[in-house]
Structures are given as C-alpha cells and as structure tokens.
Chains A and B, each alone.
Chain A
Amino acid sequence: MKTYSQLVGDGGSDILGQVVALRQKIAERLTPIQRMFAIGSGKGGVGKSTLTMLLSQALLEEGRRPVIMDADLNGPTQARLAGLRVGPPMPGAGGLSVPRAASGVGVLSLGSYISEDQAVDFPSISSGDSYVWRATKEFSTLAEFLAATDWTPFDTLLLDLPPGAERTFQYAEFLGAQANFVLVTIPSAVSRGVVRRSAAALAKTEAPACGYIENMSGYFCSECGQVRPLFPACEDDLGLPCLGRVSFDPALAAACDRGLTAGDWVGSPSFQEIRGIVRRMSENAGASAPAQAGQAETTS
C-alpha cells in the first residue's frame, strides 16, 4: 500500500494550501513592519506588559511608528495600560483598524473590545474539555489578526506575549525568524532560572534572541532619589545579552493601572533606562523579514 508521502495532495480540502495561503497573507499584511519584537518572559508578573508599553513610547521618541499587539488573548492588559476605553472593533478600508493610545502608539488588544468583567470565550460546538483545542484556537486567532489588520500606519510591531516558558517556545516556532525575542525577568533566582530555560528553548528555534531585560532591578525611592535593591544580587549567566536593567518606580506603576499618559513616564528614572534599552534592542536586532513567513515548506 502507498504511504502518506506517496499520495499527492489531500484528496480535496487542500489544507496545506490553505496554511500556505494564510502565511503568505500574513507576510503581505506585515510588509509595512520593518522590525518586529516579541516580548516574552519565563514567569508571569515580571512587568512584561508594562515594559512593552514603555518600550513603545521610547520608540516613538526615536521617530518610529510603533504598534503593540497584545498576544495574551486570555489576559489582555495593553488596552488598560494605554488608557483605551472599551468599544467595538472597526473594519477599515484596509482591514481591521488599530485603536491608538493618546500618545499615538497603536494598541491592538482584546481588552479594547471585551470588558474586564467578562471572560474571553471562544465559541465552541463541543461542551467542556476546552483544554483539547483552546491553545490551538488561540494561535489560529492570532494568525487571523495578523492577516486581517491594517498595519500600514506603523513600522515597528511589539508583540506582548502571554507569560510562560512554553509560550515563548510556541510563539518562537509560530513567528519564526521575523521576530526578535526579548525576554523579561526580575532579579530573583527563580525568575532568572526560568528565563535561562526559555533562552535554551529559544536557541532551538529560528527566532533570534535579542537579549533580556531585568525589570524591578531595584526600588526607586522618590524621597531620597536613590535606587535600593529589591532582591539579593544574582549574576548567573542567562545565555543572552543583557539589554538593560529597569528600576521599579511606584509612581509609574500606579500610572500604569489608570492608563499611562505622556507625563507619567517622561520624568521617571525608569524611563531613562528604557531609552537605553531601545537603543540596544535596535543594535542587536536584525530587520524583520516578513516575506520569510510566507515561504512555508510544502510537502505533498
């Protein structure tokens, strides 16, 4: 009897063709994006989303046109950080229109469409046991967003990934060589250990690792103006270049909860550190190559 690889095509559905077509569509849509950064972490709660928003503001200062895609579909936070109110998605002439924060940064987040008192539910014809299909559905939904959004007003895409080492690996395989990965940690040995594991997993993929950011490296005291340590010193090698260290600024943290405005970060010492990080990210990263996403290996 013939084997799978000896049969040409799939008998009528052309599943592979559909996958290739989708990847090509994503690549075409992302043509305006000159550079893509995926911001991941090992553990949750390390400030990845806040850092992503602050990175976007620093990119604006550099004259870039950044857009954030909140890839954490289950726990979207970028809409709140951007101070966006909940409203309906809007179909523009060129695809899904991206809402803008007051600063001008584009923010595409389910948090703009679904209020925080509602769970993000995917329609299903099966009842229960959603663990069987939900992760797959999230990636196909993400692909749909990438393929259907009007990215033309922007040139730099920041993907705020869901937390977790396994997620970093999954997204690295999903995005491929076009995304430069930045991992976020805090100084604790536990967090750094998970990032080290994530870095090792990233090394097995095509996705380039730009480096890591150490958030909450210290506590900024507004009274004495000094940065004091929050964690014991830990200098173990994570296998990635350190892009920079950001101190915890309580005033900035409070501003994040109510939605950031330009005045919130300009004077913050944490933001001075962010500016340096953005420069180093640009130095370490290659330009994104959206065309590569469409060149899926085809097998018959």
Chain B
Amino acid sequence: MKFLCMNCDAQMKLIQTVAPDQGSGISVVYGCPDCGNRIGMLTNPWETQVVSSLGVKIGGKTVDEVGASGDDPLRGCPFGEVVRQMVPAGSGGESPESPSNGSAFPESADVPSAPPGDAAANAPSGDPVWTEEAATRLANIPEFIRPMARQGIEQYAKSHGVQSIDEKVLDEAKAAFGM
C-alpha cells in the first residue's frame, strides 16, 4: 500500500506511528515531503489483525520514538505487544526499557516478557531472571511458541532452584526434556 499526495503527485512518507486508543487498532501518520500535508491511516482491530497475520511490521519508528515524553505510550494497552511487534526497532535502537505489563491477549496464559539486559529490574519477585544471551536465544524462536518456551524453562529453573537463566541452564533444560 502506498500513499500519494494528490496536490503534489508525490509519494507520502511515513512520519509517525501513534499509539492506539483502547479497543482500536494502530494509527500511522504519513506526510507529503513537498507540501507538508498529512494523513492518518487508522485501522480497526480486524484490519490490524490481518496485517499482523502477514508477519510483517508496519511503521518505521521505534516505540521509544513514538512516546516523545519518554513514557511508554503502550503501557497498559492490551494491544501493546502487538504494536511492539509490528514496529521494528530503529537502527541502533534497543527494545524499550519499559516492558508491557502483561500479555497483550487477555485470554492467553502468557507470562510477562522481560527485555534482554534488564530482566533483573523487571522480573516479578520470585521468578528467575534471564541473562541477555538466554533472552536472545528465546527471542530467536517463533513468536507463537515463545510464551510456552518461557513458561516451561522458568518452571524447570524454579524446580531446580535456579535464580538466573543463562545459556547453560537452557542447555540443561533441553537435555532434561529429551532434546
């Protein structure tokens, strides 16, 4: 999908991805580089889901850039994780420091995801923390099964009194589960 400024016959460029309101989809702002005219592309939840199902990310801004005040505009938003997955990190950027507060899908049993490198600060008390290397391994498996992997590995860690999940623990869990 492309956007054309009818005044200038010029392609409009992506300017900003705006955090959705509760119950709505995503909002993306495009602007004409010549006249400055702006339009907003607004999607309802079904349209958002269709795009999400394609496995691509729309928007070109990090979530950090979206929230100019520094606050996480997606905090508490039930669709926050979907938007996060749909907005790729900018060049040189990292995952936002503020994690989503919980699963984006209330009906699922996902555990909260902690970003790499900041796991200790964000993990609920009592849960093992993930090292950056271990979290990277987890992030490299398909998103659909990632919560299952996280839950299984954390249960293994807790049952073995492990407080910090590193790559060695992952290899031990893998062997324990017969792989």
Contact = CB atoms under 8 A, between A and B. Distances in A.
Contact of A125 (B2, B79, B144, B151): B79
A5 to B, nearest CB: 10
Contacts of B48: 125-126
Contact of A1 (B4, B57, B105, B143): B4
Nearest to A15: B56
B2 A87 contact: no
Given A89-B148, A125-B25, A136-B54, A148 B49 contact: no
B41 to A, nearest CB: 10
A116 interface: no
B115 interface: no
B40 interface: no
Contacts of B171: 92-93
A121 B60 CA distance: 29
Given A122-B144, A144-B144, A12 B50 contact: no
A123 interface: yes
Contacts of A136: 50, 53-54
B144 A141 contact: yes
A95 B138 CA distance: 9
A8 B12 CA distance: 11
A127 B44 CA distance: 11
Contacts of A148: 140-142
A133 B43 CA distance: 15
Nearest to A140: B55
B68 interface: no
Contacts of B107: 121, 123
Contact of B145 (A9, A12, A89, A99): A89
| Most chain A Cβ neighbours within 10 Å, of B6, B57, B141, B170 | B141
A140 to B, nearest CB: 3
Contact of A144 (B104, B142, B148): B142
B35 interface: no
A13 B57 contact: yes
Interface string B89-111: 00000000000000011011000
B66 to A, nearest CB: 14
B47 to A, nearest CB: 8
Question: Mostly helix, strand, loop or mixed at chain A's interface?
Answer: loop
B152 A89 contact: yes
A32 B60 CA distance: 34
B1 A10 contact: yes
Contacts of B129: none
Contacts of B53: 122, 133-134, 136-137, 140
Question: Interface residues of B toward A: which range?
Answer: 35 or more
Contact of B178 (A92, A99, A132): A99
B2 A10 contact: yes
A1 B144 contact: no
B25 A132 contact: no
A97 interface: yes
Contacts of B46: 126, 129, 132-133
A127 B2 CA distance: 28
B122 interface: no
Contacts of A92: 137, 170-171, 174, 179
A34 B50 CA distance: 34
9 contacts: A11-B30, A12-B30, A15-B56, A87-B152, A121-B107, A123-B107, A132-B50, A140-B54, A148-B141
Interface of A: 1-2, 4, 7-15, 18-19, 22, 85, 87-93, 95-100, 110, 113-114, 121-127, 129, 132-134, 136-137, 140-141, 143-145, 148
Interface of B: 1-4, 6, 9-14, 25, 30, 44-46, 48-50, 52-60, 78-79, 82, 104-105, 107-108, 137-138, 140-146, 148-149, 151-153, 167, 170-171, 173-174, 177-179
Leading 4 A-B pairs by shortest Cβ distance = A88-B152, A12-B14, A140-B55, A137-B53
Given A7-B4, A122-B144, A125-B48, 8 more contacts: A2-B11, A11-B3, A87-B177, A89-B141, A89-B152, A98-B179, A123-B108, A125-B79
